[in-house]
Structures are given as C-alpha cells and as structure tokens.
C-alpha cells in the first residue's frame, strides 16, 4: 500500500474515531423529524438511488464507447455517489425535510460554507500542482476536492434559495393577516 492510500485510510479512521468520541462527549440528542419529513426523506432516498442508477448507466455507456479512458474509475464512482447525495439533499431541502425539528439551521449553513471554501482552496492547489490529470486521465486525487466543493456549493445554494423563498412566503402571509 503506497503512502497516499495509507494516509487516506488513517485519516478516514481518525475522523470516524473523532466523531464517535464527540458524540459520546457532547451527548447530542438525535435529530427528530416529523411524519411528513420522514415520508419526504423516504421519497428522496428513492430519487437519490435513481440518480445513482442513471449516472451508472451513463458511465457504462461511456465505457462501451471507450471514453472511460479519460476518467479514472474511482473518480467515476465518486461522481456517481455524489450525484445521489446531491439529489437526496436537494429534494429534502426543497420539500422542507433537510433539517429536523431540533436542528440549528444557521450552524449548518455556516458549516456548509466553510466546507465549500476549504474544498475550493484545496482544489485550486491541486490544479495548480497539476494533480488533476495524469496521462490525459482525470484523477480522483486531483478532483475530489473540486467535486466536494461543487456538491456542498449546490447544497448551500439550495439552502439559501429555500430560506429566501420561505421568508418571502412568511412576509406574504403576514400581509394577508
């Protein structure tokens, strides 16, 4: 196992251990969703699965056309998973089921923004260093941060648009009263 993979696995395990410790230390209560939100989240899972199937079929056809040589298989799989995650998040956000009843929306907006900025900065560095492509093939190691920045950026935009729409509707309801 090369040092990059060893570092990735070690970092991944450290994040899992840190999350488990933080969960025990802070005794955070689990997110609570009402029945409507649970139903919407179930539908969102179905759409996310469909998005992953569709992107998998697209990749399959690219392989059949011998166009897969331009993208590393690990990157293609990562894009397929991210497509499902974005679909799930966007559907939940649009339908008001992304946040539970007991969640602090502002905290999550700030965290999402920080994740976008950090991933974008790392992506820029990877592109400057030339890590995005190797022998004409897009690489996971050079593009993962860019894809994460785009994914979290899409979620952030959906959250901001939904918040603006909710505020506009609330202002309209106040004027009617």
Nearest to 51 by CA among 89, 96, 98: 89
User: What confidence score (pLDDT) does residue 47 get?
Assistant: 98
pLDDT for residue 28: 67
Mark the ranges of the chain whose per-residue pLDDT is less than 70: 1-2, 4, 26-28, 173-177
Specify the pLDDT at position 6: 75
Q: What is the model's pTM?
A: 0.80
Quick one: 128 exposed, middle or buried, by C-beta within 10 A (0-12, 13-18, 19+)?
Answer: exposed
Cβ-contact 140, 78 below 8 angstroms: yes
pLDDT attached to residue 79: 95
* Two tokens, residue 42: 């179930």
pLDDT of residue 177: 57
Per DSSP, the residues of 120-148 read HHHHHHHHHHT-SEETTEE-HHHHHHHHH
């Amino acid at each position: 196992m090369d040092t990059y993979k060893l570092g990735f696995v070690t970092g991944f395990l450290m994040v899992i251990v840190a999350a488990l410790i933080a969960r025990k230390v802070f005794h955070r209560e689990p997110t609570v969703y009402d029945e409507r939100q649970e139903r919407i989240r179930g539908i969102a899972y179905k759409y996310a699965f469909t998005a992953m199937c569709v992107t998998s079929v697209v990749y399959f056809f690219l392989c059949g056309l011998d166009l897969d040589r331009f993208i590393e298989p690990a990157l293609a799989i990562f894009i397929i998973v991210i497509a499902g995650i974005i679909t799930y998040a966007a559907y939940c956000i649009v339908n008001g089921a992304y946040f539970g009843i007991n969640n602090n929306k502002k905290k999550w907006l700030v965290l999402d923004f920080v994740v976008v900025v950090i991933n974008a900065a790392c992506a820029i560095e990877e592109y400057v260093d030339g890590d995005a492509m190797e022998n004409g093939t897009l690489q996971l190691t050079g593009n993962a941060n860019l894809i994460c920045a785009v994914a979290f950026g899409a979620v952030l935009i959906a959250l901001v648009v939904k918040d603006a729409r909710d505020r506009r509707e609330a202002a309209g309801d106040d004027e009617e009263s």
